[in-house]
Structure 1
Amino acid sequence: MTHPHLPTSSETAAEAFRKSPVTGRMLIGGELVESSGGAWIECVNPATEDYIGKVPKATEADVQQAVEAAEKAQVGWAEMPMQERSNCLNRLADAFTRHADELLMLEVADSGNAITSMKPDLANCVERLRYYAGLGFELQGHTIPGTSDKLHLTLREPYGVVGRIIAFNHPIAMAVHGMASPLIAGNTVVLKPSDQCPLSAVRLGEIAREVLPPGVLNVVTGDGSAGNAIVRHPRVKRLSFIGSVRTGMAIQRSAAEVAVKNISLELGGKNPFIVFPDAPVEKVADAAVAGMNLGLQGQSCGSTSRLFVHDAIYDAVVKAVAERYKALRVGDPFDWSTQMGALNTRAHLERVQQFVASAKSEGARLVAGGERPAGKTFEKGNWLQPTVFADVTPEMRVAREEIFGPVLSILRWSDVEEVIAMANSVEYGLTAAVWTSDITQALRTAKRLQSGFVWVNGVNSHVRAVPFGGYKNSGTGRERGIEELYSYTEEKSVQVFL
C-alpha cells in the first residue's frame, strides 16, 4: 500500500488523503498481489466525495488461489503448539498497536464515521486479539463415564479454512474480531472486507504479513461476486457473515447448493427501547442518543431505533430527545468535537432519505432533523441531520424496516402486553433495552422480548466474553465469548477399548 502521510498542522486529514491517495493490494499466500483480472475498486471519502485510494477487484480465480493458500497453510498452523499460536496473535496485537494512528486515519477517511467512535474500535481490536490468544487454552474436550473396559473422550478440531465476509460500518474491528477466534482454534482465514470500506483491511493484511506465517490470513477485496466465490467454495466449510438479512439469506441458499456448511450470521436489527413510566426522563433522553450509535450515523445493527415511551411521560421524553438531537454536532469526521459524520455512500443516503419521506407521508411528526445540514461544509458528501419522528405507529415503514441511518422513531404505549407485542412484531431480534426502577418488571419484560441481547437501564454497552447475536432474522450463532471459539471447531468423539 502507498501510505497516507499524517497531516501537518497546515492541512486537514482529508487534504492529506487527497494529496496522497492509497493503493492497496490483496494478501494471498503471504504475498501482496493485484487482481488477476486487472480491475480496481475506487474508494471515496463519504464526507468530501474525494478519491482517496483503490484496492483490487478480485476474480473467482483470486478467491480460488486464496483458499488454496489457506488450505496449504492450515495443517502446519493447526499442528503448531497452542502457546505458539497464542504468541503469534499477541505479536499481531503489538504490531497493530504500533500502526494504530495510521489505521485510524484510514478508517475515518474511508467510512465517514466520527473519529471519536472509531478510536475505541482500534482499542477493542487489540483487546480481542489478546483475549482469544489466552482463551485458546480453554479449547478442551471431555472424558465421559462409560464402562470399565472403554475410555470415551472428545476432541475439538478446527474446520480448516474459514471464510469471513464483513460489513462496512466497523471495518477494522469486524476484520480483527472475525479472524481472532478462528485463528487461535487452528483454522486459517480468507477475509473479504466490504467493497465500500476496504482500505483498513488491506493495511491489516500488510501488518499481518510481517507476523503470521504465509497463508494463515488471506485478505481478498472485491464486490459481491468475490464474496459469493468464497461462499460457494467447497473447501470452505465454515462461513461467517455480517450484513443485511437479504444477503444473509442469499448466502445460505448459495452455500447449500454446493455443500453442507456451518454458517454464522449477524444481520439486521430494528431494536426496541421500552420506557416505563417510572423511568427518569433526562437519563432516557441521553440513552436515546447513545443507543442510536450516531458516531456511526446510526449505521449499526444494534441501534435502538424504536423508542417505546409510556403515555405518562411521552411528551416530556419527546421534547427532551428532540432537544438533544438538534444540539448534536454534525461535521468533519476527523474533528474530535464532531458527534456525527457522513453516511457511507450516496446510494445509502438516498435510501435513508426515502425513509424520511415515507414517515412524513404516513403521518409521523418530524421533531428534529430530516434535512441535509446547511452550510458550505455540507455541499458535498453524504450528509443528513440526526432525525427524530414522534407519533409513529407500528404499521409505518419507519417502525418496521431497518433504516441503518440516524433516524429514531418514538412510539406511544399504555399497556405492557401491547408494548411487548409491538416490540416483537418485526422480523428482527438483535438487541433491546428496558428502562424501569422495578427490577421484577424489568426482568419479566426482558425474558419476553425476542432479542438476543437485552440491556436493563442501559444501552450500547458490551463487555468482553458476553455472547452477542440475534433471534429470528437477525442471525444465527453467538460471538464475543467462548461460544464463538467453540463454533470454529468440530467435536470428535473417540472411544478407546482397554
Structure 2
Amino acid sequence: MRAHEIPAGILPAHRQLFYGGDWHEPLAGVYAPTINPAYDEPLADAPVADARDVDAAVRAAQDAFPAWAATPPMERGRMLRRAADILRAHARELALLDALNNGNPVSILAKDADFAADSLEYFAGLATEVKGETLPMGPGYLDYTVREPLGVVARIVAYNHPLMFAAMRLAAPLAAGNTVVVKSPDQAPLSIIRLAELIGHVFPKGVVNFLCGSRECGQALAEHPLVRKITLIGGVPTGKSVMKTAADGLKPVLLELGGKNALVAYPDADLDKLVDGIVGGMNFTWSGQSCGSTSRVFLHDSIHDEVLARVAELLPRRHRPGIPTDPATTMGSLVSRAQLEKVRGFVQSALDEGGRLVAGGRQPDDPALRDGFFFEPTIFADMRPDMRLAREEVFGPIMSVFRWSDEDAMWADVNAVDFGLTGSIWTRDLDTAHRAARRIHTGYVWINNTSQHFIGAPFGGVKQSGIGREECFEELLEFTYTKNVNLKLG
C-alpha cells in the first residue's frame, strides 16, 4: 500500500509530542521522516524530542505522580480496562498502521492490540494485590511492610511490535501507582502517536506521556534525576548504554534484550510437529525480527537429514515475502535499509566461513518487491559454533542448523553463547524434557512448542539477554519498593 492508497484516518492526526495531557511541538522544531519499508518511500514526519522535551515530559509525569499514587487501586484498574476496550475497538487500524511503518504483515499484527489489551486487563486485576505483610516482633511492637510506587518510570520500546509493546508496558507501572513516559522506536513511531490520541485522555493529565526521538531522547530519559526506573526492549549494545547511564544515578533497570535462541530436537521427537515448530519458531512472519526467535536449530544425527529436507520444503510454501498490508502476506519486510544490509552481511559471512546455504540467501526477484527491504527466508546447514552467524544475533530471517550426536557436547555448544532468552526442547520423553529444561541456560523454555507468550508466565532472559521479568505478577512488583513500618506500642 503506497502513500496515496492509505485509507483516511489510519495515520495519526497529530505530529507532536504528548505529555502533561496535551500536544506539544518539539522545542527544537525538529521532525524526522518515517518510511514505508515495503517501498522505501516517505510515510509521515514524526517529532524528535531532545533533552529539553524529555525534561518537560518527566516533570509533567512527576507533577501527576502524587495524585495518581493516591488514586484507589480499583479506580486505576477501571482506567486500564477502559484503555483495553479502546485498543480492541481500533485493533484493525492499529495493525495497518504498524504494517505500514515497520513492514510486518498486517495479518499477524492484528493480534498485537488484543494481546496488549489482555495485558492491560491482567494488571488491572492485580492493582489491589500490591500488598505488604506483618512481621512478628513480640507483644511490644507492630511491624508491617507496604509496597510503594517508585514515581516516574521511563519505558523505551522496540520497532518490531511498537503498538503492542508501548500499550502493554504501560500496564504494570500504572497499576502499581507510577506515572509513565514512553519513548517510541526511531524506525516506527507512528502507532505510538496514534496510541496517545486514543488513550492519552483516559488517564489524568501527566499520568501517561509519549515521546518520539532518537538516541538523545533515550539518553536524556536514562539520565533524568526524576526518572526512578528505566526499562528497555532492544538490543544488547543499547541495553548496556542505558545501564551505564542509569548507574550514575543508582537507577534500577529492567531490560529485555537480544537472543540467540536454540531449538533442540531429540531422536524421539514427533517429526511432523517438529518441522512445523522449527519453521514457526524462527518467526519468519516478521522476517526473523524477534528477540525470541529460535535461530539455532540442533538436530540429532539420526533425524537431521530428513528434518532439514522437510523444513526446506515447507519453508517457501509457508513464508514468501509480500506486501505487508496485503492480508494474504505471510512474511513482511525488514524495517530499514540498514537492517537489510546487516542481513546481507551475515549471509556473506556464513558463506565465507563454510556454511552450506540450503534455502534463500538473497532478496526476492518479484518486481512488486524490488523497492522494499525484503529478504527471503534463509537456512544455513553444516554450521559450527565458532562461526559469526552461530554467535551473534541477526534480527533477520536466517536460521542456522547444527548436527549433534553427543548430548553433553551439544549442551556445551547451546549454552556457549552470551545470550539466554528462550529455548525450545522437542522430545516425547517426559524425563528427557525435564532434564533438558534444567540444562538450557535461558529464562524461558518451551517444550514441544515455540514462540508463544502467555500472560502471567514470566518472560525475560539471563546473561546478556536481560534483567528482570515481565508479563507476570513479578513485573508489577518491579515498579514498587518495600517500606517497613515499626510501631512501638504504648
Normalised by the length of structure 2, the TM-score is 0.97
What pairs up with 1:203-242 in 2 under 5 angstroms?
A: 203-242=194-233
Of 167, 185, 192, the match for 2:176: 185
- Which is further off, 264-273 or 277-286? 277-286
What pairs up with 1:43-58 in 2 under 5 angstroms?
A: 43-58=34-49
Residue 16 of structure 1 and its aligned partner are, at CA, apart by 2.6
Match of 2:163 in 1: 172
What is the rounded CA distance, in whole Å, between the counterparts of 2:289 and 2:304 in structure 1?
Answer: 26
Residue 13 of structure 1 and its aligned partner are, at CA, apart by 6.7
What pairs up with 1:367-378 in 2 under 5 angstroms?
A: 367-378=358-369
Residue type of the alignment partner of 1:345: S
Residue 120 of structure 1 and its aligned partner are, at CA, apart by 1.0
Residue 153 of structure 1 and its aligned partner are, at CA, apart by 0.6
Residue 100 of structure 1 and its aligned partner are, at CA, apart by 2.1
Match of 2:325 in 1: 334
- Preserved CA contact (<8 Å) 2:292 2:421: yes
Residue type of the alignment partner of 1:198: P
Residue 336 of structure 1 and its aligned partner are, at CA, apart by 1.9
- Preserved CA contact (<8 Å) 2:443 2:461: yes
Match of 2:137 in 1: 146
- Preserved CA contact (<8 Å) 1:46 1:382: yes
What pairs up with 1:356-395 in 2 under 5 angstroms?
A: 356-395=347-386
What pairs up with 1:71-86 in 2 under 5 angstroms?
A: 71-86=62-77
Of 430, 433, 443, the match for 1:452: 443
What is the rounded CA distance, in whole Å, between the counterparts of 2:201 and 2:42 in structure 1?
Answer: 28
The structure 1 segments of at least 4 consecutive aligned residues displaced by more than 6 Å after TM superposition are: 18-21
Match of 2:152 in 1: 161
- Which is further off, 46-55 or 405-414? 46-55
Helix, strand or coil at the partner of 2:357 = strand
- Preserved CA contact (<8 Å) 1:24 1:203: no
Encode CA deviations 1:352-398: one digit per residue, 9 max, x unaligned.
11000111111111111011111211210101000001111111111
**Structure 1 residues 385 and 256, CA gap change in structure 2 (3 angstroms):** same
Of 406, 410, 413, the match for 1:419: 410
Residue 33 of structure 1 and its aligned partner are, at CA, apart by 1.3
What is the rounded CA distance, in whole Å, between the counterparts of 2:4 and 2:292 in structure 1?
Answer: 33
Match of 2:279 in 1: 289
What is the rounded CA distance, in whole Å, between the counterparts of 1:152 and 1:13 in structure 2?
Answer: 64
- Which is further off, 14-23 or 36-45? 14-23
Helix, strand or coil at the partner of 2:153 = strand
Normalised by the length of structure 1, the TM-score is 0.96
- Preserved CA contact (<8 Å) 1:369 1:386: yes
Helix, strand or coil at the partner of 1:37 = coil
Match of 1:269 in 2: 259
Residue 295 of structure 1 and its aligned partner are, at CA, apart by 1.6
Match of 1:298 in 2: 288
Of 234, 242, 246, the match for 1:251: 242
What is the rounded CA distance, in whole Å, between the counterparts of 1:431 and 1:13 in structure 2?
Answer: 36
Residue type of the alignment partner of 2:415: N
Helix, strand or coil at the partner of 2:28 = coil
Helix, strand or coil at the partner of 2:111 = helix
Residue 14 of structure 1 and its aligned partner are, at CA, apart by 5.3
Residue type of the alignment partner of 1:386: P
**1:59 partnered with 2:58:** no
What is the rounded CA distance, in whole Å, between the counterparts of 1:485 and 1:82 in structure 2?
Answer: 13
Residue 39 of structure 1 and its aligned partner are, at CA, apart by 0.6
Match of 1:478 in 2: 469
- Preserved CA contact (<8 Å) 1:193 1:220: yes
Match of 2:301 in 1: 311
- Preserved CA contact (<8 Å) 1:116 1:295: no
Encode CA deviations 1:15-52: one digit per residue, 9 max, x unaligned.
43399965532111011112100011211001011211
Residue 115 of structure 1 and its aligned partner are, at CA, apart by 1.3
RMSD between aligned residues: 1.3
What is the rounded CA distance, in whole Å, between the counterparts of 2:40 and 2:245 in structure 1?
Answer: 34
Residue 203 of structure 1 and its aligned partner are, at CA, apart by 0.8
Of 86, 103, 113, the match for 1:112: 103
What is the rounded CA distance, in whole Å, between the counterparts of 1:375 and 1:88 in structure 2?
Answer: 47
Match of 2:311 in 1: 321
Q: Any gaps of 5 or more consecutive residues in structure 2?
A: none
**Structure 1 residues 13 and 48, CA gap change in structure 2 (3 angstroms):** closer
**1:17 partnered with 2:22:** no
- Preserved CA contact (<8 Å) 1:100 1:122: yes
What is the rounded CA distance, in whole Å, between the counterparts of 1:13 and 1:24 in structure 2?
Answer: 20
- Preserved CA contact (<8 Å) 2:246 2:252: no
Helix, strand or coil at the partner of 1:210 = helix
Residue type of the alignment partner of 1:263: V
Helix, strand or coil at the partner of 1:264 = strand
What is the rounded CA distance, in whole Å, between the counterparts of 2:247 and 2:472 in structure 1?
Answer: 27
Residue 315 of structure 1 and its aligned partner are, at CA, apart by 0.5
Number of aligned residues: 486
